[in-house]
């Protein structure tokens, strides 16, 4: 399936200028390095506080946007198409709000349109807008589904997210290879068993 009019996806985008790092942010990273047992003034770590701060500015850029704005431009001329629209296995990364550890996974997002559709890249943009914040996977799943339900007003929405959490794989119980799965079904995908089975089959479940 091709995208429904998304000219900005093909535009050349100027790289964002490096952000200025406030002194207190850099100092906080130095304090953490020192607390962890290393010397923030040794050669290999001299620029680390600024790098970490800039990285977190990027990791958390979802706070500086309203993900739902990507659903504001819709299309009604779809040749009578009224079946499921699915974007499958969208990769994403986020950070756990409890340990600031990476969450790395994939999402499948589907909706059953009523009278309008949205450019498919916008589904990924909504996911990324919410994932680039401090998160728990359950809330991320609900936020993506709720935004699509509210702004597209479809007959049904289905979101399934699978992810690994470094707060579990790299610390604590230290159990690598464990995948967490969360889902949210709304409308016909929640109320009608046949529709639910159909969307799950398309997603590969």
Which residues are the active-site residues?
96-99, 137, 165, 167
Q: Looking at residue 19, what DSSP letter applies?
A: P
CA separation (Å) from 51 to 6, 28, 30, 154? 33, 13, 11, 43
Residue partners of 189: CB distance under 8 A and separation at least 6: 110, 112, 156, 157, 158, 195, 196, 199
117-118 and 74-75 beta bridge pairing = antiparallel
**Could you give the CA distance from residue 92 to residue 79 in angstroms, rounded to a whole number?**
32
């Amino acid at each position: 399936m091709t995208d429904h009019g998304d000219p900005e996806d093909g535009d050349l985008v100027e790289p964002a200028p490096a952000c200025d790092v406030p002194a207190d942010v850099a100092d906080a990273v130095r304090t953490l390095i020192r607390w962890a047992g290393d010397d923030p003034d040794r050669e290999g770590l001299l620029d680390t506080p600024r790098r970490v701060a800039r990285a977190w500015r990027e990791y958390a850029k979802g706070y500086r946007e309203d993900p739902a704005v990507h659903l504001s431009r819709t299309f009604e001329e779809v040749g009578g198409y009224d079946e499921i629209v699915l974007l499958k296995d969208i990769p994403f990364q986020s950070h756990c709000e409890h340990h600031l550890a990476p969450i790395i996974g994939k999402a499948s997002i589907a909706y059953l349109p009523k009278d309008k559709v949205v450019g498919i890249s916008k589904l990924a943009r909504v996911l990324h807008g919410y994932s680039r914040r401090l998160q728990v996977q359950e809330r991320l799943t609900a936020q993506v589904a709720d935004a699509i339900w509210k702004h597209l007003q479809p007959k049904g929405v289905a979101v399934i997210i699978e992810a690994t959490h470094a707060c579990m794989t790299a610390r604590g119980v230290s159990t690598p290879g464990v995948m967490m799965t969360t889902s949210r079904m709304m409308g016909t995908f929640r109320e009608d068993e046949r529709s639910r089975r159909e969307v799950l089959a398309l997603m590969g479940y």
